[in-house]
């Protein structure tokens, strides 16, 4: 599985990369006091706690969220902020010191920077606390994830991408990636106010040129969503794709994201053949192709009205969707092998052509 270099563009200037070095203890000070408890969001995935796009009004303004760990647990702390802040995980017993601006020791945190850091916490009571150290309105997003991400039938392979970046107003970011057979990508991250999309590689230039482009709705957010690109296992056929993000706001925004790759696990029969691999791969592949078909039907519904859809079929090596035309006789059959093909009245498969031409 290959991951190419990130492409950055912003009015002719490159993005600034966040600083990541930080000591394990720090003195925190506050010039004014206000306290709001952050409401945690829990999920059945790896996410333990999430706070997207939370405002902090003025220097010294702080927020916190208490949480309990029942046994030793590894966590990943994902954090991004528009401007300088302090964000730390402390013992709950130190909360009063944090509120009063006294010195506190913390287990993991960020001081004027942002990114992804890890910590193992013993059973006990803790607090995530954030303080604005900038004399202006600030916005942050944070996420505390369980560190043991697992995908059924796959084993962890690598983390080829882990980035913390700022995006100027109007800027875009392109992170190409290639999916190969037998592997899956898991993309995770957060931001302080940008739009996030997964697109086919064929759509990159249109995104770069700020033109209309096609994206996979299952893995995209066509509005500013602080939890994106969040906890997505990409079930798409082998091919070239890109994670792209755009800052449509009038101010600089920040984002953090990472890619994990997972390799399919196979059992050996003892005769050199794999147990169940073909069936599992075939099922996963069909599910991934169905996602492509679903997106095409939604985006280009004028070509594929609901009344014409006959569902997915398998015939020999082909897996396709069938559609009945208005005259009730001819059928389009849309087949995907990394490109889109059609077959009218069994007259043979023909390449449809680039999706970009469909609206013309």
Which has more confidence, 36 or 90?
90
pLDDT tens digits for range 254-310: 999 999 999 998 765 555 555 444 445 466 677 778 887 888 888 777 777 877 877
Cα 265 to Cα 262: distance, rounded to the nearest angstrom = 9
**pLDDT band with cut points at 50, 70 and 90 for residue 199:** very high
Backbone angles phi, psi at 80, to 5 degrees: -145, 145
Q: Is the pLDDT of residue 46 over 70?
A: yes
Q: Which two tokens stand for residue 30?
A: 């506050």
Q: Is the pLDDT of residue 177 over 70?
A: yes
**pLDDT band with cut points at 50, 70 and 90 for residue 23:** very low
Helices (H), the chain: 95-100, 204-208, 277-299
Q: Which of 237, 224, 225, 229 is nearest to 197 (CA)?
A: 229
Contact between residue 292 and residue 217 where contact means Cβ atoms under 8 Å apart:
no
Q: Which two tokens stand for residue 4?
A: 């190419």
As a whole-number percent, the residues of the chain with pLDDT over 70 amount to 76
Q: Which of 194, 76, 77 is nearest to 129 (CA)?
A: 77
The CA-CA-CA angle for residues 261, 145, 173, to 5°, reads 55
Average pLDDT over residues 329-356: 69
Q: What is the pTM of this model?
A: 0.65
In the prediction, which pLDDT does 354 show?
A: 57
pLDDT tens digits for range 52-77: 999 998 899 999 999 999 999 999 99
Average pLDDT of the chain is 78
Domains observed in the chain? 7-13+150-264 (2.60.120.380), 25-146 (2.60.120.380), 281-357 (no CATH)
pLDDT tens digits for range 101-149: 888 999 999 999 999 999 999 999 999 999 999 999 999 999 999 988 8
């Amino acid at each position: 599985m290959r991951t190419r270099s990130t492409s950055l563009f912003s009015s002719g200037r490159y993005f600034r990369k966040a600083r990541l070095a930080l000591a394990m203890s720090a003195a925190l000070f506050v010039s004014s006091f206000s306290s709001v408890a952050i409401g945690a969001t829990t999920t059945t995935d790896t996410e333990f706690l999430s706070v997207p796009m939370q405002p902090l009004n003025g220097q010294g303004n702080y927020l916190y969220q208490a949480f309990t760990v029942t046994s030793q647990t590894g966590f990943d702390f994902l954090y991004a902020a528009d401007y300088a802040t302090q964000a730390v995980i402390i013992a709950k017993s130190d909360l009063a010191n944090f509120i009063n601006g006294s010195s506190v020791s913390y287990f993991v945190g960020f001081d004027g920077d942002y990114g992804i850091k890890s910590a193992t916490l013993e059973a006990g009571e803790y607090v995530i606390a954030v303080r604005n150290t900038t004399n202006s309105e600030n916005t942050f997003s944070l996420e505390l994830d369980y560190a043991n991400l697992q995908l059924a039938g796959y084993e962890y392979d690598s983390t080829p991408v882990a980035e913390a970046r700022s995006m100027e107003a109007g800027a875009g970011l392109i992170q190409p990636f290639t999916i190969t057979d037998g592997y899956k990508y898991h993309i995770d991250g957060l931001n302080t106010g940008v739009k996030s999309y997964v697109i086919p590689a064929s759509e990159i230039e249109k995104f770069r040129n700020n033109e209309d482009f096609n994206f996979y709705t299952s893995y995209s957010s066509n509005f500013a969503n602080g939890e994106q690109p969040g906890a997505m296992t990409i079930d798409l056929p082998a091919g070239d794709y890109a994670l792209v993000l755009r800052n449509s706001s009038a101010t600089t925004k920040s984002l953090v994201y990472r890619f994990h790759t997972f390799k399919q696990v196979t059992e050996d029969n003892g005769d050199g053949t794999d147990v169940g691999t073909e069936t599992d791969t075939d099922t996963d592949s069909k599910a991934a192709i169905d996602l492509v078909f679903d997106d095409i039907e939604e985006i280009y519904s004028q070509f594929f009205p609901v009344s014409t859809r006959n569902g997915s079929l398998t015939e020999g090596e082909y897996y396709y969707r069938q559609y009945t035309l208005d005259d009730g006789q001819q059928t389009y059959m849309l087949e995907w092998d990394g490109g889109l093909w059609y077959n009218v009245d069994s007259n043979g498969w023909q390449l449809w052509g680039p999706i970009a031409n469909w609206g013309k």
